Amino acid sequence: MRRTLYWLTGFLPCRIIGARGKPYLERYYLCTALGVRIYLHRFLASDPDCRYHDHPWPWAISIVLAGRYWERRRGRLRMVRWCNVLTGDTFHRVELPADSHGRCVWTLFAHRACDKKEWGFLRDMGQTCMVYTPYSFPRENEPRAWFKHAPRGRHEPRRMPV
């Protein structure tokens, strides 16, 4: 399954998401239909920095196609093997299992095509509180239709091999 997904995503618009020069997520645009945007996600590593984040959409759903991951929400850790449903107010982080031995996780990810709100991170300030930090990427440099100009997966030099 992983090899088939890797081959397929070679033809799709690709966006590499990383922190400090290390990619942790490859996002491949599939389509927008009936107000829903659909991607293939390839998780290469856990979300960075042990911070929780929310999303700008009112809802999102993630269907696991290959692999599994841990989802950490405030006060809760659970294994996601098949499906995960999120609201825009869900603060969470994705953690790949320690025993994955470098094997990535593939998901089909869908969300409402328009943003509902700003989004950001919760930073732990010790045992007693967390502080919300808005995502500070300049909005004018992040077009909503990034996939119209993105390279295909096979032409993206930062794409990780299988």
Task: Please tell me the pTM assigned to this model.
Answer: 0.85
Q: What is the pLDDT of residues 30-39, one digit of tens each?
A: 999 999 999 9
């033809």: which residue's tokens? Answer: 11
Angle formed at CA 82 by CA 28 and CA 93, multiple of 5 degrees: 65
Mean pLDDT in the chain?
85
Asked if the model's pLDDT at residue 5 lies above 80, the reply is yes
Split at pLDDT 50, 70, 90, the class of 19 is confident
Q: In this predicted structure, what is the pLDDT of residue 138?
A: 47
Q: How many CB atoms are closer than 10 A to CB 61?
A: 15
Average pLDDT over residues 18-46: 92
Split at pLDDT 50, 70, 90, the class of 40 is very high
Q: In this predicted structure, what is the pLDDT of residue 129?
A: 62
User: Class of the 2-152 domain?
Assistant: mainly beta
Nearest partner of 15 among 137, 160, 161, 156, judged by Cα:
156
**Higher pLDDT among residues 149 and 123, named by residue:** 149
